[in-house]
Amino acid sequence: MPKPRDPAPRRRTGALALPDWIAPQLATLVSQPPAGNQWVHELKLDGYRILVRIANGRATLLTRNRQEWTDRYPTVAAAAAALPVNGAILDGEVVALDRLGIPSFQALQQASDLVAGRSLSYVAFDLLFLDWRDVREAPLIERKALLARLLHGSKGVLGYSQHFEEPGQAVYERACRMGLEGIVSKQREAGYTSGRGQSWLKTKCIARQEFVIGGYTDPAGGRTEFGSLLLGVHDANGRLVYAGRVGTGFGHAMLKALGRRLRSLEQRQCPFESAAGAAGPGVHWVKPVLVAEVTFTEWTDDGRLRHPSFIALREDKPASEVIREQRGRQTHPDSAS
């Protein structure tokens, strides 16, 4: 691998103080991958987004909403702390592989790092600081080269996210055939910018996103705990808008665990902007703090989900940030998100 040029610090010559936190860069959903050789493409990982901060031989794991999960994945923290670096910040995801070797979010939720640590991996796809130097303004392709060099020779739970330089549509179609969630296309010459923008674009193989849980219904038939979850997304004014119900995809253990949490969050007030379509017999409102990830076939014209199925709770994503993801076609790097 050719040696990348050494990116200069952003503010001054010499070492910089390592930030306690950097808000992660987020990808914008599009309907098809961008074309052109200014893009590289990575497989979209189905796991928990984690920033790893390494300072003086100690690693700290932080979720995208700044929860510390170091104790949750101690094998990942130990492996990161052993890297040959004094101060660094990595961006990536903790994933768990199913029996076919495909990243599975359900498997990740069920895995215990303490008893099955080797089933978990931290796959790094970006580097923000290296040896106390801020490299966020360096081109992506150079940051990835530095990251690959840092992780070279690492074994066990640490991995490197390879990128593909072939046409994005070909990478996307292959990812879908493999049963993966989709791909993330990134501008090879772009710097790292916190927040959502146009230099990272995600294309999904299936309709899938997060929803806020605003209530639940009584169980019926042989079901226990609850019947379905009432889901919502925030609009442009921050109001929680009802999006429909999901009543499939729950295993027995999830039904029991989620049922207990829902009962502890019950409230009299409807959390949705309007109760129309949501209210009815056997409905219980809850504080809108839990986030569910759901697959579905499409949105209806009146803003409801068609054929939704529950995947998992997302403890790493705050309910306040959940909005309806729009599949845009604009991929120009200078356009607004």
Tell me the pLDDT tens digit for each residue of 145-186. 999 999 998 878 999 999 999 999 999 999 998 888 899 999
Confidence of residue 334 (pLDDT cuts 50, 70, 90): very low
Selected catalytic residue, list 44, 144, 202, 204: 44
To the nearest whole percent, how much of the chain has pLDDT over 90?
A: 73
Residue 39 has pLDDT above 90, yes or no: yes
The dihedral built from the CA positions of residue 299, 304, 309 and 313, taken in this order, carries a sign that is positive
pLDDT at 337: 28
pLDDT at 142: 98
Residue 267 has pLDDT above 70, yes or no: yes
pLDDT at 97: 73
pLDDT tens across 177-228, in order?
888 889 999 999 999 999 999 999 999 998 899 999 999 999 988 889 999 9
pLDDT tens across 284-313, in order?
999 999 999 999 988 998 999 999 999 999
Mean pLDDT across the chain: 88
pLDDT tens across 119-152, in order?
689 999 999 999 989 999 999 999 999 999 999 9
Is 44 labeled as catalytic in the residue annotation? yes
Q: What is the pTM of this model?
A: 0.76
To the nearest whole percent, how much of the chain has pLDDT over 70?
A: 87
Fold of 25-204: D-amino Acid Aminotransferase; Chain A, domain 1 (3.30.470)
pLDDT at 333: 30
CB atoms within 10 A of CB 247: 17
pLDDT at 12: 34
* One fold for 25-204 and 207-321: no
Residue 319 has pLDDT above 50, yes or no: yes
Domain boundaries, the chain: 25-204, 207-321
> Which has the higher per-residue pLDDT, 111 or 78?
78
Confidence of residue 283 (pLDDT cuts 50, 70, 90): very high
pLDDT at 102: 73
HEC states along the chain? Answer: CCCCCCCCCCCCCCCCCCCCCCCCEEEEEECCCCCCCCEEEEECCCCEEEEEEEECCEEEEEECCCCECCCCCHHHHHHHHCCCCCEEEEEEEEEEECCCCCECHHHHHHCCHHHHHHHEEEEEEEEEEECCEECCCCCHHHHHHHHHHHHCCCCCCEEECCCECCCHHHHHHHHHHCCCCEEEEEECCCCCCCEEEEEEEEEECCEEEEEEEEEEECCCCCCCCCCCEEEEEECCCCCEEEEEEECCCCCHHHHHHHHHHHHHCEECCCCCCCCCCCCCCCEEEECCCCEEEEEECEECCCCCEECCEEEEECCCCCHHHCECCCCECCCCCCCCC
Confidence of residue 101 (pLDDT cuts 50, 70, 90): low
pLDDT at 328: 52
Fold of 207-321: OB fold (Dihydrolipoamide Acetyltransferase, E2P) (2.40.50)
Contact 250, 258 (CB under 8 A): yes
Residue 59 has pLDDT above 70, yes or no: yes
Give CA–CA dist 20/62, Å, rounded: 10
Residue 113 has pLDDT above 50, yes or no: no
